[in-house]
Structure 1
């Protein structure tokens, strides 16, 4: 019986069906299914499939956003139980768009995929200068910093952020990944960061970071 309800939750997330996700998560709770099992074997299972379809070009950003909304609606129902269970997160990630850049869809999508992969995600927002990012790193102590830029003119600010991180002696304390339309693997290597082509691959890169930490 549990297996059926878990599969129904995963399907609801895949379909972006908020109402069905909430209904089935609630039913699973009533059946006594542990919150951690609901998260890992149903909610995240569905979102992982979304990520694979997105990576293969079979799902697109609007559909992924709808699925992410369904995912969050399910997590909200079991949030208290998850906190009480002492479940360990995969890692902590700080996401931000650099100074001069107001684009947020890409970095928000990355954040949703990372949450779907079990990470604690702290989103700073857009148009953030290096100094503000450094202060947030000191405050939150993330395992990974994910930086976005969607304009060729703001790419240079990624290097500025990394340079200041090094100057502050924090470079060995935080992994750095970058992404955005104008970026590339060669640019990432040049500025001392790791590259992710899209939101789905960002989750893969982040998991590899934590496996080697």
Structure 2
């Protein structure tokens, strides 16, 4: 028998439903997110509004709590997976309506390195913030990064390394961009446990991101500056 106190999402007014969806996202409840997205769309909400007001707003809270040590990686992954369930419905609709995008990022773990949890988390969190993310996976060679950046017309290159032996390969990729005269076309963000800000500066990256929540903040900041420069 159903619990008398059980919430029936379709009976909630819009504002309460959006708040409930943010709570469900925080708790990693994918099925409820799918139901909520469908209900809002049936009520005539624009896909972009569903994305920003329900999902992105919810993931912002997740990101802040992750940054502040209230949530940990497993919980953030659950929330990000719930977000993906909602995004699966919204993506084709957003493409149809030509909704504005925050920006586009190509991300991958560098050649010789097969660690991907951190990279996956960054990708999911950036998607949660409204970015389009193209994930090249692990063991990514310089040529693959460069091809993807050009093909996807990306704004940001994200590189991850978890081994001290693979860290230097990030410089190889950046040097390749410099050599081809394309370094200034992209915002280059690097991350991974053995890195630090000093290393990021030394190899010519735009920024070092110590975790996924910080990566989102930095990416947003750089994209905003890029837009300001273009409109100036």
Please tell me the TM-score bracket, short chain as reference.
over 0.9
Q: Is residue 198 from structure 1 mapped to residue 211 from structure 2 by the alignment?
A: yes
Aligned residue-pair number = 213
Deviation at 1:9, TM superposition (A): 1.3
> Unpaired segments of 5 or more residues in structure 1?
none
1:100–1:58 CA distance, 2 compared to 1 (3 A): same
> Unpaired segments of 5 or more residues in structure 2?
1-12, 227-232
**For the Cα contact (< 8 Å) 1:2–1:33, is it kept in 2?**
no
**For the Cα contact (< 8 Å) 2:25–2:83, is it kept in 1?**
yes
Between the aligned partners of 2:132 and 2:88, the Cα distance in structure 1 is 14
Q: Is residue 69 from structure 1 mapped to residue 61 from structure 2 by the alignment?
A: no
Q: 1:208 aligns with which of 218, 221, 224?
A: 221
Deviation at 1:138, TM superposition (A): 2.1
Please name the residue that 1:145 is paired with.
Answer: 157
Between the aligned partners of 2:163 and 2:204, the Cα distance in structure 1 is 19
Q: 1:6 aligns with which of 9, 18, 35?
A: 18
Structure 2 counterparts to residues 4-153 of structure 1, below 5 A? 4-153=16-165
Per-residue CA shift, 1:93-125, capped at 9, x if unaligned? Answer: 000111100001111100011111111100011
The alignment yields a C-alpha RMSD, in angstroms, of 1.0
SS at match of 2:101: coil
Deviation at 1:176, TM superposition (A): 0.3
**For the Cα contact (< 8 Å) 2:111–2:166, is it kept in 1?**
yes
4+ aligned runs moved over 4 Å, structure 1: none
Deviation at 1:22, TM superposition (A): 1.3
Deviation at 1:141, TM superposition (A): 2.2
Deviation at 1:211, TM superposition (A): 1.0
Deviation at 1:88, TM superposition (A): 1.2
TM-score, normalised with respect to structure 1: 0.97
Larger radius of gyration: 2
SS at match of 2:69: coil
Please name the residue that 2:196 is paired with.
Answer: 184
